[in-house]
Amino acid sequence: MKIFRTSQIKQIDAITIQDEPISSYNLMKRASRAFFEELLHHIEANTSISVFAGNGNNGGDALVIAQLLNRIGKNCHVYLIDPKDKLSEDCQNAYDDLRQLQNITRIKQADELPSCSTDIIIDGLFGTGLNRPVEGVFKEVIHQMNLMRENGSTLFSIDIPSGLFGEDNQNNHPDCIIKADYTFTFQAAKPCFFFAENEQYVGDWKILDIQLHPQAIAQTDTPYYLTDEADIKMLYHKRNTFSHKGTFGHALLIAGSYGMMGASILATKAALRTGCGLVTVHIPQKGYEIMQISVPEAIVSIDQSETCFTRHPNLTSYNAIGIGPGVGQSETTATAIHQLLSEYHQPMVIDADALNLMGKNPEWWSLIPPKSILTPHPKEFERIAGVKTQGYNSWEKQRELSRQHNVIIVLKGAYTSISFPDGTLHVNPTGNPGMATAGSGDTLTGILTSLLAQKYAPEKAALLGVWLHGKAGDLSISHAESEESMIASDLISQIGTAFKGLRATYFPT
């Protein structure tokens, strides 16, 4: 599913109007009806509703929604914010239609704002075309609507919370943005929905299909995509009846150090649960008994050091390598990782302390094998990028690094983003806040390394692995009973169930 910049959605709207053909006002009605039908799920018999409309097309949407509410007997309060007494053409049409049904309060100045309480607020002040912070009477209206929400109203935004820019909000003003409980957006998710700093504005969001021209959508290029389950099912490799363990590869995990053996155990268990035929884990001597007892299915390679990674084993028998979880950042470990990068030339998975050491040694970028998968969390990403980034700028920096160094970067978090050397970036929708727990990233390293060893192409391994990881997290909620009580081992226990949904592609029930 494509994610478009807001300017591109405007172009797709124009093509739809021209080629369907349909008038812009009728397209507005179609979008408004989609919003209205979703809103009905939140309305009860005695629900009071206040609609705040701007003087542009987003305001026109709000006025059409008010018409639809009126026709089912919900005579809501409608406030049209119009300081210059000038409406867009479609907003004017919506206004003319609505005023035949009910009164509309027209507001030009801040002191005309009503003091009212209501169950539901509909925000239709500004759409996606906004490119500068809101000011004047509109800023005061936003402040009033947010205050009403604080006092118990539920706030619904049309397409995008008013005041929020579609992409980069670093120069926006936080006090000029609606804080929605729900955002019902048209046709495609907006980039700004996927960034942590905007959660307080966007709330829960849902994409509504308003049937924009399919050819226009198909032919409009974008670097951004939202992964869905149908995409993932196409990546999944069905197992043949006469397969054996050698068919599914041999992975090497270099993980763990004295006091951090849990990381190596979690990564190893996850690799095995993801279907790798053989998993060898290279660990310091003091971890040997812990590993053999905890993961009897694993092959153990012992480092010459008692406490940390200092030298890699012979690499000839492995189909993929993952390195980093719990290895520490000692000088001897840094030397050993540098040697590994210098000698191994196939795609590998690089995580955790291996990434932190990369941040300290930026010259390592030139040693990373092409199409390797790097899995930083936001702080690790800042270290390897060499700059502090946030929101939309993180996406752009991530894409830049993937193109520049021919690597795949998995930037972990809510809506994990996966950037590829061709400049595209895919957003993963699975997962939940319960995965914010120690060891969650180690399990992802195991999953990705396992898929690489099973001969999934690196791009496919990244997409499938991140999706499986998040899906296992979602399935873990029912097992752990709450996000708060989830631990990384819960994720590993649900990998099989996550796979089961993909197997249904071949073995439908």
CA distances, 497 to each of 195, 273, 440, 478 (Å): 29, 11, 17, 12
- Same CATH topology for 2-222 and 229-239+324-503: the answer is no
In the chain the first and final C-alpha atoms are separated, in Å, by 27
What's residue 509's pLDDT? 45
Length of the chain in terms of residues written = 509
Place of tokens 């599914």: 248
Whether the per-residue pLDDT at 481 is higher than 90: the answer is no
Mean pLDDT of 484-509: 84
Task: Say whether pLDDT at 389 is over 70.
Answer: yes
Q: What is the pLDDT of residues 333-342, one digit of tens each?
A: 999 999 999 9
Evaluate the omega torsion of the peptide bond into residue 21 and state whether it is cis, within 30 degrees of 0. Answer: yes
Give the per-residue pLDDT at 505: 57
Q: What is the pLDDT of residues 135-175, one digit of tens each?
A: 999 999 999 999 999 999 999 999 999 999 999 999 999 99
Q: What does the pLDDT read at residue 206?
A: 98
Indicate the domain borders of the chain: 2-222, 229-239+324-503
* Widest distance between CA atoms in the chain: 85
Which residue type sits at 474? D
Whole-angstrom distance, CA of residue 288 vs CA of residue 299: 10
What integer best gives the mean pLDDT of the chain? 96
Closest C-alpha among 136, 117, 118, 116 to residue 54:
136
The pLDDT, as a whole number, for residue 163 is: 98
| CATH superfamily, with its number, for domain 2-222 | YjeF N-terminal domain (3.40.50.10260)
Using CA atoms, how far apart are residues 266 and 298, in angstroms rounded to an integer? 12
The reported pLDDT for the residue numbered 298 is 98
What's the mean pLDDT in 5-12?
96
Beta pairing partners, 312: none
* For residue 22, pLDDT beyond 90: yes
The yes-or-no verdict on residue 508 having pLDDT over 60 is no
Residue with tokens 């912070």: 133
Hey, which bits of 9-76 come out as E strands? 49-53
For the ranges 14-28, 113-127, 211-225, which has the lowest average pLDDT?
A: 113-127
The per-residue b/e assignment along 337-362, b for 16 or more CB within 10 angstroms, e otherwise, is beebbeebeebbbbbbbbbbbbbeee
Query: Which CATH architecture fits 229-239+324-503?
Result: 3-Layer(aba) Sandwich (3.40)
Cα four-point dihedral sign 14, 19, 20, 26: positive
Mean pLDDT throughout 278-282? 98
The encoded tokens of residue 475 equal: 């399935």
* The pair of three-digit structure tokens given for residue 464, joined into one six-digit string: 């499938």
